Amino acid sequence: MEPKAPCPAAVPSEERKFRVLVGVTGSVAALKLPLLVSKLLDVPGLEVTVVTTERAKHFYSPQDVPVTLYSDADEWEMWKRRSDPVLHIDLRRWADLMLVAPLDANTLGKVASGICDNLLDQARA
- Averaged confidence pLDDT in the chain: 88
Q: Where are the domains of the chain?
A: 23-124
Please write the tens of the pLDDT for every residue from 77-106. 877 788 888 888 899 999 999 999 999 999
pLDDT at 48 over 80: yes
Which 8-state DSSP code applies to residue 91? H
pLDDT at 11: 53
Q: Which residues of 9-42 are buried (b: 16+ CB within 10 A; e: fewer)?
A: eeeeeeeeebbbbbbbbbbebbebbbebbeebee
| Matching CATH number, 23-124, of 3.30.300.180, 3.20.20.70, 3.40.50.1950, 3.40.50.720 | 3.40.50.1950
pLDDT, mean of residues 46-50? 97
For residues 29 and 48, give the distance between their C-alpha atoms in angstroms, rounded to a whole number. Answer: 19
pLDDT at 59: 97
What's phi and psi for 2, nearest 5 deg?
-75, 140
Residues β-bridged to residue 50: 22, 69
pTM equals 0.83
